[in-house]
A and B are shown apart, each in its own frame.
Chain A
């Protein structure tokens, strides 16, 4: 039973336009959400996160939106650049869980075309 889902395996966007990557979750106990970016044959790198007490967090070109009632979060990249082409994973955790564990979605491959 996948608790975190990324339903779009791939997304293609023109350079300079907005990229929107989506993520849905089922476990209402999740209270912290993260986005990671991964290039081929490399480890994921942390991109941005959001606590469930917020509905938006912004860091430069990257903004994460959280809709708790819909159990949905999204990552917006504006403007998109060719270097953003990578696989993006969303992840969720329960902050009070002593295990510090993350549950990952299956990833979305973003391709930004010049």
Chain B
């Protein structure tokens, strides 16, 4: 049963604490993405990775960090430098290469992060 798994579903962060959101996919996709959604807003790109051991900043990367040590995994760390981390975080993946299929991203169920 292929898909994208995000954990945990809910996460609470204390002041000054770093927290890590997990994203795992078994779709054999090369590219993975992290988005942030605020209430009533669209999705904004935090980081993306097209291949293992490589990633690029998106539109709102400040205060976040990622790693891509395995094709299946793309964890996101929300650091203490992110002053407004409360949001819904979404991970996605897609194939790479040529063809229109690479334009379609598939999403996990999301992690809701709140600050205590």
For the complex, give the distance between the alpha carbons of A98 and B54 in Å. 13
A95 touches B103 (CB 8 A): yes
Binding site secondary structure of chain B: strand
Most buried by B among A95, A100, A107: A100
CB proximity to B under 8 Å, residues A64-114: 89, 93, 95, 98-102, 104-107
* Residue A42, interface by CB 8 Å: yes
Count A/B pairs, Cβ under 8 Å.
67
Band of interface residues on B:
20 to 34
Quick check: B103 and A42 within 8 Å, CB to CB? Answer: no
CB-based contact A46/B104 at 8 Å: yes
Asked whether B102 is an interface residue with its Cβ less than 8 Å from the other chain, the reply is yes
Q: Report the nearest B residue to A46, measured CB to CB.
A: B104
Contact with A along B37-48 (1 / 0, CB 8 A): 000111111001
Question: B-contacting residues of A (Cβ < 8 Å)?
Answer: 4, 6, 9, 32, 34, 36, 41-46, 49, 51, 89, 93, 95, 98-102, 104-107
Please report B residues at the A interface, Cβ cutoff 8 Å.
4, 6, 31, 35, 40-45, 48, 50, 56, 58, 88, 90, 92, 94, 96, 100, 102-110, 112
